[in-house]
Amino acid sequence: MARAAILRRLSWQAASIAEIREETDTARTFVLDVAGWEGHTAGQHVDLRLTADNGYSAQRSYSIASAPADDRLEVTVQRVPDGEVSGYLVDAAQPGDMVELRGPVGGYFTWDPEELDPVLLVAGGSGIVPLMSMIRARGALHSRVPFRLIYSTRGPGAAIYADELRRRVRDDRGLDVAYAYTREVPEGWPRPAGRLDAALLTAAGWPADLRPAAFVCGPTGFVEAVADLLVAQGNDPSRVKTERFGPTGG
Amino acid sequence: MDYLDGNMLAGALREIFTVDVTTAQARCAGCGRTGMVAQTRVYEHAAGLVARCPGCDGVLIRLVRAPDRAYLDLHGTSFLEMPMP
């Protein structure tokens, strides 16, 4: 690991919500001000903790959405049914509110820009968030490492960052984006609504011979299905990194 | 019950250790399988976190954080090998 430097122990620190952006009906991006923030590696996450007046507290892990080069830390949170942390953040939090933060953490699900192998990113729903940090990191570095993203969402309206992805496909050379819509498709869309399958992975991914670095993030069932398909297509399991957020990720 | 990745232990372990233990190789004391801590299966229980071996489902790590202390049970892990500078 490139970042094996000895660090300090981490503890919780205060973060203030500087800005909130609506991404979709159920997802918001929080721009956080954190004193002494020393940056992160694309793909890492932070733990956020909320404490009620009666002392009850709840914490969850959220992927960092911003690029390491960005001045400010951004996380995108999707509301999950009955999610006590995501529900508060998406429905009630306001700019100026404080949360507690621990991070950045996690050295496994990260993209190292010095690795020149082609990259396949596969996102299910809000699993796009850490992958977007990698795409933004690549853009900020003007990296020429070939990236392909396959993004599975219910429909076009549920896709987070859709406008930015469209712009980056135009401007960031060597980035391709394909969508797998599972419930509703735009008019004239060539592929019927349905799950991401082997055919789309073949068409929009990389041949296993190229030894791509694959990052798969989404709900548990999605991640396992995609990882199994990639291994069945000849990818080395050690080259397929996964991050599940599961239904308990709320 | 649904599980998460060992990757999500990173914050809780970085409260205790100064290196990222999720990128360590852990050997399961039960079946002998070695794999990255980030790839274990983590179950959240009321008071703590339990990381199980993806091979045999044995408990590798059990971590409970109380307000003034942490309990870390590693008896299911026979070794941890981690990158060091």
Kindly provide the ipTM of the predicted complex, given to two decimals.
0.91
Mean pLDDT, rounded, for B45-70: 92
Residue numbers in B near A107 (CB within 8 A): 10, 20, 22-23, 38
Q: What is the pLDDT of residue A245?
A: 78
Burial classification of residue A6, based on how many CB atoms lie within 10 Å of its CB (0-12 exposed, 13-18 middle, 19 or more buried): exposed
* Domains assigned to chain A: 13-105 (2.40.30.10), 119-244 (3.40.50.80)
Q: Do B85 and A4 touch (CB under 8 A)?
A: yes
Minimum Cα–Cα distance from B11: chain A residue: A105
**pLDDT tens-digit readout, A173-185:** 999 999 999 999 9
Task: Give the amino acid at A28.
Answer: R
**Chain B interface disruption, residue of A6, A63, A248, most B CBs within 10 A:** A248
Domain parsing of chain B, residue ranges:
4-81
**pTM, full prediction:** 0.94
Q: What is the pLDDT of residue A6?
A: 60
Average model confidence (pLDDT) for chain B? 93
Q: What is the pLDDT of residue A247?
A: 46
Collapsing DSSP states into helix, strand and coil, what is residue A48?
Answer: strand
CA of B39 vs chain A CAs: smallest distance (Å) = 8
Average model confidence (pLDDT) for chain A? 93
Q: Is the dihedral of CA A86, A90, A92, A95 positive or negative?
A: positive
**pLDDT tens-digit readout, A78-118:** 998 888 899 999 999 999 999 999 999 999 999 999 999 99
